[in-house]
């Protein structure tokens, strides 16, 4: 059999995994692989910082539904990737990350650009490998891709010492992956699914709480069917946005700390909570003891470790969301054909009418202002112009929450945000990655002025590939969410949240050969976005918005989710007692 070099095996394995594009940054310990990539079929996108390479691979994976690939050199290259890997880990994004490593003979000698990368990334990867024989390379890469995309997806890192890249061995491609300690359960227990169906039928006030698992499993259609068959309102998490259309009559929009008032009320008053592909995050539940206190709980998730982690549930179903929902929907249709009574119809109608009343009482709202641009209005304009067909990426902070609240989501895989880790600087590189996956869709990076400054060097990548991104900076000259917390919880002492000294972002865009606009007045905004938002070239919009606008509703940390501070004028708390909301 013909011998192949490690680098040749690397490229051949990536080809067999169907990898078309990788995001990375070269350096000494990974130069052999970069030499092999020179002129190879696989496209390498040179990011300007390794953190951005990891975020771009994340954006690519989420927009495409496939596995994103990032690579960097040893030492600082690898440590710079860590934020992006940790973000992908928290959000269960399938990614394979390759890092160069010093030659195996030098490992442990404090060699130049050496770091214990498998040690550093162990708690923020699904699994990781240090390859010590070229003979193990093909099997390792095969396993890495398999682990990344199956079960609960996540990032897998492969550390490649330089000598392993350079030595030769016979190439044997393992057709099968054999991992005796890894057996994801895909099909839910039929008895538990039947039990869930009966519980759904018996409930008088059911609510669906749907998350990122709906999107990861491609189960949005099954979720819509479930909601419609059994007439159940649907609240999504930040990660679940796009998994259920915002404009659907059964949509409750987002729940949680900055969720809609009506989603939080519905969850708090429901008698059955159907949790689908979610992990009962503290930003969703608020005070755990007061979360859906009257409800029986069904929890569908592919990861058994999520069951009973934060909240005890009554009917756990471990399995792939799409598969479980398919069976559950059939079961429900069968049951409903027999048991759909006028009483059942009346109960559902009463519950949905109650919810409609809550929706009317406190929709997401803000005071429009003719003198100053309101950030929420910017998002509404983007939603109107794109008609929900764009892919949105965001940074982390107030702009992220406004985007989540005011965009009208239509499709899964059109909302890409750093949810669990909350990594500022995510938006621009993730948008770059998303474009390589879906160049057919308009892509808009909604950025905060604080976050944007963390990865704005990636404008060079936008310029290099003429990526027709639209970068919308919601610029309030503050670290807005920090300022909001300081205003509410720290008596307005704005410690280190002031960004008055900021660059002229439009000029920065121009410095990279891109077009940039600065927008200061409401009168300019609508026309400009109408004209330029769907243009076929990259454009940056630096939009100066109301500096001290807050994100409402807001559940103070540790409070029950009914204890919302609702804006915009004269913030007040909604009383918790049932009588007062009837």
| Distance of closest approach, residue 208 Cβ to another protein, in angstroms | 24
381 touches 444 (CB < 8 A): no
Please pick, among 481, 486, 549, 563, the residue that the annotation labels catalytic: 481
Active site residue 162: yes
CB of 87 to another protein, least distance (A): 18
Of the candidates 5, 8, 12, 113, the residue annotated as catalytic is 113
| Catalytic residue flag (residue 477) | no
Query: How far apart are the C-alpha atoms of 449 and 320, rounded to whole Å?
Result: 38
Question: Is the Cβ of residue 124 or residue 203 nearer to another protein in the bound state?
Answer: 124
Is 481 one of the catalytic residues? yes
> What is the tally of helices (H) and strands (E) in the chain?
23, 22
Nearest to another protein of 5, 309 (CB atom) = 309
Determine whether 225 is an active site residue.
no
Smallest gap from Cβ 143 to another protein, in A, equals 9
> Quick one: 130 or 404, whose CB is closer to another protein?
130
Q: Which residues pair with 95 in a beta bridge?
A: 68, 155
Whole-angstrom Cα distance, residue 365 to residue 216? Answer: 31
Question: How near is the Cβ of 149 to another protein at its closest, in Å?
Answer: 14
Catalytic residue among 17, 50, 114, 380: 50
Per the CB < 8 A criterion, the answer to whether 285 and 560 are in contact is: no
Indicate the residue among 8 and 303 with the shorter CB distance to another protein: 303
Alpha carbon distances (Å) from 307 to 114, 150, 299: 39, 19, 7
CA dist., res. 204 & res. 270, Å (int) = 8
Q: Residues 41, 112, 357, 389: which is the catalytic one?
A: 112
The verdict on whether 426 is a catalytic residue reads: no
For residue 425, the minimal CB distance to another protein (Å) is: 25
Q: How far is CA 77 from CA 59, 93, 95, 175, 387, in A?
A: 19, 21, 17, 32, 40
| Between 135 and 303, CB nearer to another protein | 303
* Residues sharing a CB contact under 8 Å with residue 202, sequence separation 6 or more, in sequence order: 272
- Taking the complex as a whole, how short is the minimal distance between the CB of residue 92 and another protein, in angstroms? 12
C-beta closer to another protein: residue 307 or 566: 307
Q: What ranges make up the beta strands (E) of 102-165?
A: 127-130, 155-161
Least distance from another protein to the Cβ atom of residue 123, Å: 6
Burial of 340 (0-12, 13-18, 19+ CB in 10 A): exposed
b/e burial code for range 104-118 (CB count within 10 A of at least 16 → b):
bebbeeebebbbebb
Contact between 93 and 68 under an 8 Å Cβ cutoff? The reply is yes
Q: What distances in angstroms separate CA 197 from CA 67, 168, 230, 400, one per listed residue?
A: 34, 57, 9, 36
Nearer to another protein, 309 or 515 (CB): 309
Q: Give the interface with another protein as residue ranges (CB under 8 A).
A: 118-119, 122-123, 126-128, 130, 147, 179-182, 303-305, 307-309
3-state secondary structure of 206: strand
Catalytic residue list: 50, 112-113, 162, 481
């Amino acid at each position: 059999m013909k011998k192949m070099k490690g680098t040749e095996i690397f490229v051949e394995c990536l080809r067999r995994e169907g990898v078309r594009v990788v995001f990375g940054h070269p350096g000494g310990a990974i130069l052999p692989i970069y030499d092999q990539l020179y002129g190879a079929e696989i496209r390498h996108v040179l990011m300007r910082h390794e953190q951005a390479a990891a975020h771009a691979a994340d954006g690519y994976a989420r927009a495409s539904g496939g596995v994103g690939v990032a690579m960097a050199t040893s030492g600082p290259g690898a440590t710079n990737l860590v934020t992006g890997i940790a973000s992908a880990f928290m959000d269960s994004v399938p990614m394979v990350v390759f890092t160069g490593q010093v030659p195996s003979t030098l490992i442990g000698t404090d060699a130049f650009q050496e770091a214990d990368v498998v040690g550093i990334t162990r708690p923020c990867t699904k699994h990781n490998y240090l390859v010590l024989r070229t003979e193990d390379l093909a099997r390792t890469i095969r396993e890495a891709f398999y682990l990344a995309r199956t079960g609960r997806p996540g990032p897998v890192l492969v550390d490649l010492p330089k000598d392993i890249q350079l030595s030769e061995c016979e190439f044997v491609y393992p057709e099968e992956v054999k991992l005796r300690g890894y057996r994801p359960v895909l099909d839910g227990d039929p008895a538990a699914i039947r039990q869930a169906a009966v519980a759904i039928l018996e409930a008088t006030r059911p609510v669906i709480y749907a998350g990122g698992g709906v999107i990861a499993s491609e189960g949005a259609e099954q979720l819509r069917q479930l909601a419609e068959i059994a007439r159940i309102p649907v609240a999504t998490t930040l990660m679940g946005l796009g998994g259920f259309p915002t404009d659907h009559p059964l949509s409750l929009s987002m729940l949680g700390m900055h969720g809609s008032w009506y989603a939080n009320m519905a969850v708090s008053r429901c008698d059955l909570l159907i949790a689908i592909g979610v992990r009962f995050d503290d930003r969703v539940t608020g005070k755990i003891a007061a979360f859906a206190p009257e409800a029986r709980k069904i929890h569908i998730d592919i990861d058994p470790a999520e069951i009973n982690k934060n909240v005890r549930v009554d009917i756990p179903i471990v399995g792939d969301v799409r598969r479980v929902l398919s069976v559950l929907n059939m079961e429900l249709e069968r049951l409903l054909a027999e048991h759909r009574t006028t009483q059942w119809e009346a109960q559902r109608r009463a519950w949905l009418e109650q919810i409609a009343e809550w929706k009317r009482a406190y929709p997401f709202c803000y005071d429009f202002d003719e003198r100053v641009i309101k950030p929420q209005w910017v998002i509404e304009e983007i939603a109107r112009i794109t008609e929900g067909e764009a892919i949105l990426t965001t940074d982390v902070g107030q702009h992220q929450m406004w985007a989540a609240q005011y965009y009208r989501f239509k499709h899964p895989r059109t909302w890409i945000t750093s949810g669990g880790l909350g990594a500022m600087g995510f938006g621009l590189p993730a948008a770059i990655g998303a474009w390589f996956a879906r160049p057919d869709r308009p892509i808009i990076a909604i950025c905060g002025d604080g976050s944007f400054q963390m990865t704005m060097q990636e404008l060079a990548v936008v310029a290099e590939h003429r990526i027709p991104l639209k970068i919308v900076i919601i610029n309030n000259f503050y670290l807005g969410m920090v300022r909001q917390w300081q205003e509410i919880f720290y008596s307005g002492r704005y410690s280190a949240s002031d960004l008055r000294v900021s660059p002229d972002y439009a000029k920065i865009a121009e410095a990279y050969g891109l077009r940039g606009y600065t927008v200061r007045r409401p009168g300019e905004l609508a026309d400009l976005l109408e004209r330029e938002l769907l243009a076929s070239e990259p454009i940056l919009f630096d939009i100066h918005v109301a500096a001290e606008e807050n994100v409402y509703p807001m559940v103070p940390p540790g409070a029950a989710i009914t204890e919302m501070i609702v804006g915009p004028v004269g913030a007040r708390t909604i009383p918790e007692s049932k009588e007062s909301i009837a």
